[in-house]
Amino acid sequence: MSSLWLLFIGLAMLAGGYLLYAKFLGERIYRLDQAYPTPAHEMHDGVDFVPTNKFVLWGHHFTSVAGAAPIVGPAVAVIWGWLPAFLWVTLGTVFFAGMHDMGALWASTRNRGRSMGMLSGRYIGARGRNLFLVVIFLLLLMVVAAFAVVIKNLLISTPSAVIPAWGAIVVALVVGQMIYRWRMNLLLTTVIGVTALYALILLGDAYPIELPASTLGMSPATFWIVALFVYAGIASLLPVWVLLQPRDYINGVQLFIGLGLLYGATLFSAPDLAAPAINGNVPEGTPSLVPLLFVTIACGAISGFHGMVSSGTSSKQLDKETDARFVGYFGAVGEGLLALGAIIAATAGYATLADWEAVYTEFNAGGVTAFVQGGGSILNAGLGIPTSLSATILATMAVLFAATTMDTGVRLQRFVVQEVGEVLGTRVDKYVGTAIVLVVAMGLTFSAGAGGEGGMRIWPLFGTTNQLLASLTLSIVAVILLRKKRNPLPALVPLVFVFVMSFYAAIVQLGTLREDEDWLLLGIDVVIIVAAVWVAVEAVLAMRAARSMPEETDAHDREAAAPESATR
């Protein structure tokens, strides 16, 4: 079968989702109001609360939530065949992720930019909030520690990505000045920024950088990890418009260029799908498609981490409430587009079924490698781009996305630490909060050796934890809709499906960890399951109570949020 069918059908479904379903959600369910004052204006501080052009904020939001996950998840999940991954990515993006991301952004905007953890206190009670914060903290810890290791591996395996990956920081600093200090035209700024970034890619491809065996007394692996944590700590403390926002915006534009190249190459070369639609010959040890597909592909379908970004930082920068449709829902569509590209690259980038099966020899054998190899092959066949340069472009894309998720993850986890301090009655300033985050994350990363092996120690729990968090976020959205006497079904249907699948996966994982006698992960998994179930029960009780409550109005939102100041 030609990959063009996947490309055209997938693009049509995602476009229909944004043009039709997102419009329905914005007008009939969330009832977005352009006149409603957003936290970015009411609490403007020039650091975290900054009214932002919706295109710039979309880039910041999208690349923060994306990371490498929309590439890795689908490129691993096609081991069950391309059809299940394609259906989950397209339907999940349209009916699950868009609703979830846009809903979290809207809910936080209505509550002075508060995170989903703190919102749970208002809508499902103090016990639910405390347990919610535990789950969020563990999830962000997994993200920060694991992404440091992922980026380190990419910088070592693809040294041509070193110059563009670090040079992008300088480009972002200049772009931030061009937008906010010099007030330059956004289109001109974008052209200059993207041109500079691609010049760095060409430079990196010509001059790959491999570190010597010892740098400042550290191995390459240790040096890159330490450098990444130092960068992430500094980036998370700077005013958001100085580095994070412009860096993410340029990365977002770069994604569309990269996707344009990949989709264009697919159009010209029209490669056949080497992988089967449904793989009946999976390698031994491959877990069952149900429920693992629905936790393997998170970003690109639905992901709890998106709710953390939506409510943690994007809601603090939303210029108008109506921008939530473009930033939140279209951010999910951007992930769907990336996931669709990953599926095509990992299934049509190989000449024969035997070539494809030689890569997918075991579960988790695909991932970024399959995306870079397969995508590079398609770019070479369709557009004649040299294989080496194609690999550099795709590897740089993966590094930049992973880095933006890591630095945003540090910033979000600092917010969580500050919110925990607020719950305990102690004020934690941003420097102390950041120090706590870095010490804990670095402690985990180096806990199993100087090569960062510990960074992946609790990562196996990410999929189930992340999806449980997505369902809990949807439960808060559902409670809000019930209180406002609006139709809760668009939130309840994905909530039930995702909770059942992720809870099922968590129980399966519990059995596997017990067989492997991995008592650390088993203990953490039990904590996460108990916390998630407890929050879910509290949410169900809150939904029942909400049905008999008087209708909440916009005035109620302002009154409930006004007495306390959101975390800064």
| DSSP letter string, 431-484 | HHHHHHHHHHHHHHHTTT-TT-GGGGSSGGGHHHHHHHHHHHHHHHHHHHHHHT
pLDDT at 314: 93
Highest mean pLDDT among 124-133, 220-229, 377-386, 416-425: 220-229
Looking at residues 35-43, what average pLDDT do you find?
Answer: 93
* Model confidence at 459: pLDDT above 60: yes
> For the chain, what is the radius of gyration of the CA atoms?
22
Cα maximum dimension of the chain: 67
* Model confidence at 559: pLDDT above 70: no
- pLDDT higher for 214 or 400? 214
CB 306 within 8 A of CB 69: no
Chain centroid, CA 504 distance in Å: 23
pLDDT at 393: 78
* Model confidence at 564: pLDDT above 60: no
Q: Mapping DSSP to helix (H, G, I), strand (E, B) and coil, where does residue 345 land?
A: helix
Looking at residues 147-161, what average pLDDT do you find?
Answer: 86
pLDDT at 561: 59
* 413 dihedral zone (left: phi>0; alpha: psi -120 to 50; beta): alpha
Which residue in 236, 241, 238 sits closest to 433, CA to CA?
A: 236
Q: How far is CA 412 from CA 275, 313, 408, in A?
A: 39, 7, 6
* Model confidence at 560: pLDDT above 80: no
- Return d(Cα 354, Cα 323) in angstroms, integer: 47
Digit-coded pLDDT (tens) for 470-516? 998 999 999 999 999 999 999 999 999 999 999 999 999 899 899 98
Neighbouring CB atoms inside 10 A of 479's CB total 27
How open is the CA angle 412-241-259, to the nearest 5 degrees?
Answer: 80
What domains are there in the chain, each with its CATH number?
A: 3-284+292-553 (1.10.4160)
pLDDT at 568: 39
Contacts of 558 by beta carbon, 8 Å cutoff, 6+ apart: none
pLDDT at 283: 92
* Model confidence at 137: pLDDT above 70: yes
Digit-coded pLDDT (tens) for 304-359? 989 999 998 899 999 999 999 999 999 999 999 989 999 999 999 998 999 999 99
- Return d(Cα 336, Cα 326) in angstroms, integer: 14
- Return d(Cα 350, Cα 314) in angstroms, integer: 39
- Return d(Cα 240, Cα 232) in angstroms, integer: 13
* Model confidence at 166: pLDDT above 60: yes
> Beta partners for 218?
215
pLDDT at 471: 92
For the chain, what percent of residues have pLDDT higher than 70?
A: 98
Looking at residues 165-186, what average pLDDT do you find?
Answer: 92
pLDDT at 160: 87
Q: Please report the beta strands in 112-157, taking only residues with DSSP state E, as ranges in sequence order.
A: none
Tell the burial category of 171 from Cβ atoms under 10 Å away from its Cβ (0-12, 13-18, 19+): buried
Digit-coded pLDDT (tens) for 248-295? 888 888 878 888 888 999 999 999 999 999 999 999 989 999 999 999
- pLDDT higher for 389 or 526? 526
Band of residue 553 on the pLDDT scale cut at 50, 70, 90 = confident
Phi/psi of residue 255, nearest 5 degrees: -60, -45
For the chain, what percent of residues have pLDDT higher than 90?
A: 54
pLDDT at 566: 42
- Return d(Cα 440, Cα 454) in angstroms, integer: 12
Q: Mapping DSSP to helix (H, G, I), strand (E, B) and coil, where does residue 229 land?
A: helix
Q: How far is CA 371 from CA 20, 63, 92, 178, 497, in A?
A: 31, 18, 21, 34, 29
* Model confidence at 395: pLDDT above 60: yes
pLDDT at 493: 96
pLDDT at 341: 92
Looking at residues 196-222, what average pLDDT do you find?
Answer: 91
Band of residue 567 on the pLDDT scale cut at 50, 70, 90 = very low
